[in-house]
Amino acid sequence: MALEIALVVIGAAALIVGLIGCILPILPGPIIGWVSLLMIFFAGGAELLSVPLLAGMAALALAGTVTDQILPAAASKHAGAGRAGVIGSIAGMILGMIFFPPLGLIIGAFLGALLGELVFHRENEHPFRSAFAVLRGTLLATIVKLAVTGVFAVLFVQRAISLFG
């Protein structure tokens, strides 16, 4: 029973870090969140969480992480933004979250993208449009990651209750 408790605690910690990672672009949130399901699997076995479900959730975690890489870049490319806008958006998101949470996340992403476009992509004739596109792609990717990791959270809590209930 002590091993099961330890695995659930590790899983809960992974889930929390995974949710934080959905907002912080440094951490692969869905993949870390999926580790919580792996811990529940090790704690309760296939009766608690089937191997096909675990594999499906791994694919979902991978898809959420890949989406995070594709959406901001695709949105920025569609609007004519450069790589500097995407990098500026990520840097602005981090700084905004640190200094002005929670709205700093959104405002910082936009201002970072705009600054990146104005300073490093001067040939862009529509830096505001590009900055909004980068912001839209970044926010949409964050929502997708949070939704995926939210599914993991629901499964984790249900299975943890079943394990000890």
The contacts found for 121-130 with CB under 8 angstroms, 24 or more apart, are: 121/81, 121/82, 121/84, 121/85, 124/80, 124/81, 124/82, 125/80, 126/79, 126/80, 127/85, 129/79, 129/80, 130/76, 130/79, 130/80, 130/81, 130/82, 130/85
Compute the mean pLDDT over every residue in the chain, rounded to the nearest whole number. Answer: 89
Mean pLDDT (whole number) for 47-61? 95
pLDDT of residue 36: 98
Query: How far is it, in rounded angstroms, from Cα 29 to Cα 83?
Result: 23
Residue 124 has pLDDT above 80, yes or no: no
pLDDT of residue 143: 93
Each residue of 81-107: pLDDT tens digit?
Answer: 777 887 888 888 888 888 887 778 788
pTM of the model: 0.83
